[in-house]
């Protein structure tokens, strides 16, 4: 069940749900708008010629109030808000319609697990042919909350728990028992 503004207000007031800092205008009828932080990560493209999932990647960290995303470029950013979800609530990250209409795709793998705590790392992609200037503090996405039928038996306590600022991919920490190391395949041309 999607949670309403009145339920969200009650949960925020009791401390069951944490979204901080939060201004009144961020609370929407069935969601909470989140604002763009001032911390960004850009993949260090001079450091690697191929992205591999079994090794850490090197990122360039930027801290600034404004940033321009060139056309067809990708950037990681963080929200200003620190959130903590109870173990029986999940949230969907959705881009704001007004942001999507200028060609900016906002994602966080689309999902926040019950029990997650931290700032959200957003994946930003400029699908436009023109650069897009972003300003920290502007509402950039929204969280839609849903109550689960029961508390999660194993709430999120993973590799991104407690994150502050954007965090690059930690997929290299995953264990995939069905995959055995092989020689690197040649890129498809």
Task: Tell me the catalytic residues.
Answer: 123
Radius of gyration from C-alpha coordinates of the chain: 18
Contact 166, 43 (CB under 8 A): no
């Amino acid at each position: 069940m999607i949670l309403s503004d009145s339920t969200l207000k009650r949960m925020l007031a009791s401390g069951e749900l944490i979204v901080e800092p939060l201004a009144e205008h961020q609370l929407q009828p069935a969601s909470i708008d989140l604002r763009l932080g001032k911390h960004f990560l850009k993949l260090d493209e001079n450091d690697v010629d191929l992205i591999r999932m079994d090794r850490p990647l090197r990122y360039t960290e930027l801290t600034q109030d404004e940033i321009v995303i060139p056309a067809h470029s990708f950037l990681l950013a963080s929200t200003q808000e620190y959130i903590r979800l109870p173990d029986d609530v999940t949230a969907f990250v959705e881009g704001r319609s007004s942001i999507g209409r200028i060609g900016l795709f906002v994602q966080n793998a689309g999902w926040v697990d019950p029990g997650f705590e931290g700032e959200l790392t957003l994946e930003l992609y400029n699908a436009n042919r023109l650069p897009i200037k972003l300003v920290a503090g502007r509402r950039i996405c929204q969280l839609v909350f849903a109550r689960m039928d029961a508390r999660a038996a194993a709430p999120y306590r993973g590799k991104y728990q407690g994150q502050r600022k954007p965090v690059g991919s930690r997929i290299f920490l995953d264990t995939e028992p069905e995959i055995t190391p092989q020689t690197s395949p040649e890129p498809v041309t």
